[in-house]
Amino acid sequence: MEIRSTEEVMKASYDFAHAILEKQIQIKSIQDEIKEIKANYKEQGIAVNAVNRVINMLKTKAKKSPGEVLEESIIMEKMEANKDIQDQITILVNPSD
């Protein structure tokens, strides 16, 4: 790997670093705003974590084709109806029972 150290390359490197750091600062600011919004709604009794999980599920679903959604839905129904699988899942999520 060749190390470049010309003044022009260093300036471009600094410009790149500045641009990236500026965006990271903006991301942090937005993340802080999101935390504040969540806290405000949580204080109002909103199930913030549940709503976030649903939003994430909807985003994941929106990325899938209708065929993928249908296939997963069918598999889910079949597995939910299978007692052996449900018993094993129960053991996994409630190991002390």
Residue bearing tokens 């994941």: 60
Q: Which domain holds residue 75?
A: 65-97
Q: Are residues 74 and 59 in the same domain?
A: no
Predicted TM-score (pTM) above 0.75: no
Q: Are residues 4 and 42 in the same domain?
A: yes
Q: Are residues 43 and 71 in the same domain?
A: no
Structure tokens at 7: 């003044």
Torsion 62-64-70-72 (CA) sign: negative
Q: Are residues 14 and 34 in the same domain?
A: yes
pLDDT of residue 63: 96
CA 67 – CA 72 distance, rounded (Å)? 9
Q: Are residues 88 and 56 in the same domain?
A: no
CA 19 – CA 56 distance, rounded (Å)? 29
pLDDT in 10s for each residue of the chain, 97 residues: 666 678 889 899 999 999 999 999 999 999 999 999 999 999 999 999 999 999 999 999 999 999 999 999 999 999 999 999 999 999 999 977 5
Q: Are residues 72 and 29 in the same domain?
A: no
Q: Are residues 82 and 56 in the same domain?
A: no
Q: Are residues 4 and 47 in the same domain?
A: yes
Torsion 34-40-42-45 (CA) sign: negative
